[in-house]
Amino acid sequence: MSAPLRIGFVMLHTSPLDVPGTKDAGGMNVVVRAQADALALAGHEVTIFTRRSDPATPHRTVLASGLAVVQIDAGPARLLAKGEHEAVMAQFGERLGEAVQQAPVDLLHAEHWFSGIAALPVARSAGIPLVQSYHSIAAPPESPLTDGERPESPGRLAGERRLAREADLVIAVSEAERRTVLDRLAGDPARVRVVPLGVDTELFHPCTEPHGAVEHDDADRGAGERPEAILVGRLHPLKGFDLAIEAVAALPPERRPSLRIVGAAPPDGDDYVRALHEAVARHGMAGTTLFEGALPREELAERLRRATVMLVPSHSETFGLVALEASASGVPVIARDTGGLREAVLDGETGLLVQGDDPQAWAAALSALLDDPQRIAELARRARPYALDHNWAASAERLLDTYRALLAPEAPRAPEASAHRG
């Protein structure tokens, strides 16, 4: 076996200690934690550097053998709205540089653009490679939500382009994201690699009881008598949960599934949450809709396997991890026909892809599926093997291969990096 690596993940704006589905924590947190766990288990030494957002968190938290989280003091030690992080990138970078000088790493892997811009000078002065993962790429402010997340702060578009140019390697989570890096950010095809995501198929597994036969605790909702559609994710407009509510509302009341919504609002997301609650009330769906807030992974997995169908109406996703988690749970997915969701859901095999924003089209797909238990069973049967093909150990192994290729003496590096090569 080749020598173990010292890997520094940089996660400026959210912490691996946060519960996914709360604050700004979501897929990125799940991915980093799962890959870091797998790398540490394989004998590598992994440190995740994050910004201190709570004065009480210890400087260093050991999560597992070979895996620690280190708090970097930059800006106020409290939660910041996403857009506020741009102002603390430089200070974070300085402190990160000090930390890396004291405890050297072989490479830095930055998650999201804030981390990349902070880590770039650190990697250059240490003479080590910078690997960049975007997780989401901003769409120009005037473009439709289907093009992706809006820049939360002014430097994002330029920052992301700079990283495509200057990072030594960009890791994309799907072919769709790879294309966005090439087309929108003018990335260099030789320095963009796809590392597929995984899913924990022990945590997310099918229900042993038949679908529809499960009585829910929520007796007042009459949920046990209805099929259940589940939505999972941060309550952000990009997720399109409003469309799912409209789609359910477009069905006659007696044929509507109950709706379970799992996830919480990001720090600046109260308006959207209010709008969702208002829509539910307006359509008379309060008795059959449950806003559960964010749930820990085990509880989420339990809810998921009991659902009849998952809806993923997101305007854009680089991949859409929740869809893979539904597949692992043997639950078919109805997702928007866009971006990485075309890879997370196999149309007609693990679920259905629906185009556009018309609630009627979504309602039609939903009711056709709910009316056809055999079809549900067939999709569920195909879903689990698809998920089993995506495991975190394989994902981490792919990541490691890309790290090793980058660390090889003859590896191509970003043009600017050659001068600093250690």
Site membership for ligand UDP, residue 294 (CB under 6 A) = yes
Categorise residue 265: left if φ over 0, alpha if ψ from -120 to 50, beta otherwise.
Answer: beta
Among 11, 12, 13, 27, interactor with ligand UDP by CB under 6 A: 27
Site membership for ligand UDP, residue 325 (CB under 6 A) = yes
**Position 24: which residue type?**
D
Site membership for ligand UDP, residue 311 (CB under 6 A) = no
Q: Which two tokens stand for residue 19?
A: 């519960």
Site membership for ligand UDP, residue 5 (CB under 6 A) = no
Alpha carbons 26 and 89: distance in angstroms, whole number: 21
Site membership for ligand UDP, residue 321 (CB under 6 A) = yes
Residue 193 C-beta: closest distance to ligand UDP, Å: 19
b/e map 85-104, b = 16+ CB within 10 Å: bbebbeebbebbbebbeeee
Site membership for ligand UDP, residue 16 (CB under 6 A) = no
Site membership for ligand UDP, residue 295 (CB under 6 A) = yes
Residue 240 C-beta: closest distance to ligand UDP, Å: 11
Residue placing its CB nearer to ligand UDP in the complex, 341 or 417: 341
* In the complex, residue closest to ligand UDP by CB: 26
Q: Using CB under 6 A, which of the segments 20-28, 42-50, 188-196, 347-355 binds ligand UDP?
A: 20-28
**Which residues in 207-266 contact ligand UDP (CB under 6 A)?**
232-234, 262-263
Residue 300 C-beta: closest distance to ligand UDP, Å: 5
Residue 27 C-beta: closest distance to ligand UDP, Å: 2
Residue placing its CB nearer to ligand UDP in the complex, 112 or 191: 112
User: Cα 171–197–336 angle (5° rounding)?
Assistant: 100
Contacts 24+ apart (CB under 8 A), 399-403: 399/35, 399/39, 399/171, 399/195, 400/5, 400/39, 400/42, 400/44, 402/131, 402/169, 402/171, 402/193, 402/195, 403/5, 403/7, 403/106, 403/107, 403/109, 403/131
Residue placing its CB nearer to ligand UDP in the complex, 30 or 279: 30
Residue placing its CB nearer to ligand UDP in the complex, 132 or 367: 132
How big is the site for ligand UDP, counted in residues (CB under 6 A)? 20
Alpha carbons 294 and 312: distance in angstroms, whole number: 17
Residue 55 C-beta: closest distance to ligand UDP, Å: 26
Residue placing its CB nearer to ligand UDP in the complex, 107 or 139: 139
Contacts 24+ apart (CB under 8 A), 151-156: 152/81, 152/82, 152/83, 153/82, 153/83, 153/84, 153/85, 153/86, 153/87, 154/86, 155/86, 155/117, 156/86, 156/113
**Which residues in 28-67 contact ligand UDP (CB under 6 A)?**
28, 30
Per DSSP, what are the bridge partners of residue 218? none
Residue with tokens 């030789």: 190
Residue placing its CB nearer to ligand UDP in the complex, 75 or 233: 233
Chain contacts with ligand UDP (rule: CB under 6 A): 20-21, 26-28, 30, 232-234, 262-263, 294-295, 297, 300, 319-322, 325
